[in-house]
Structure 1
Amino acid sequence: MKKTVSVLLAVATIAGSLVTAVPGAKADGGRIAAGVAGGLIGGALLGGAIAASRPAYAAPAPVYVEEPECRVVRERFWDEYRGVWRSRPVQVCD
């Protein structure tokens, strides 16, 4: 019961403050449009500055390692389970 009363009291408080604090909407000669346009332009400028800024972390340059040359050869082996000679690919690096 305490939770229900406190929730209803909180909802009533918030609803009452919204009803009393919201003024009537007026155009006032285009001041609202100027504010919206100014906000959009300011946001675009700020977003462009953030996008053009240098990243905080620069990745190290790539390092190329010369690996030994490898090739794949077929190796024959005796398959005890089947009782036959089989072959399989094996990578051989020099």
Structure 2
Amino acid sequence: MKKMFLAAAAAAVLAAASVVAPAPANARNGGAVAAGVLGGLAAGAIIGSAAASAPPPYYYGPGPAYVAGPPCYWRRERFWDGYGWRVRRVQICD
């Protein structure tokens, strides 16, 4: 709709410019040519705006997918070192 109004406004500006332009004193059949040009411009604007391509379709990417976690993890374990209980980190792989 916006394009059609813009095309109509452009056609109106061109029509006003051709009417205001000075004409020679012996212009006898210039009105028919001007009417044909203006009609052609208006028809071209209407047909061109109607035939304009539609916006591209929306793209939807793939959905979320399951990703497996790492096969190993770290865990704190207590151990006896001969003097007392201590804690160390141990990697556990299944």
TM-score, normalisation: structure 2: 0.29
User: Normalized per residue, which structure has more helix?
Assistant: 1
* TM-score, structure 1 normalization: 0.29
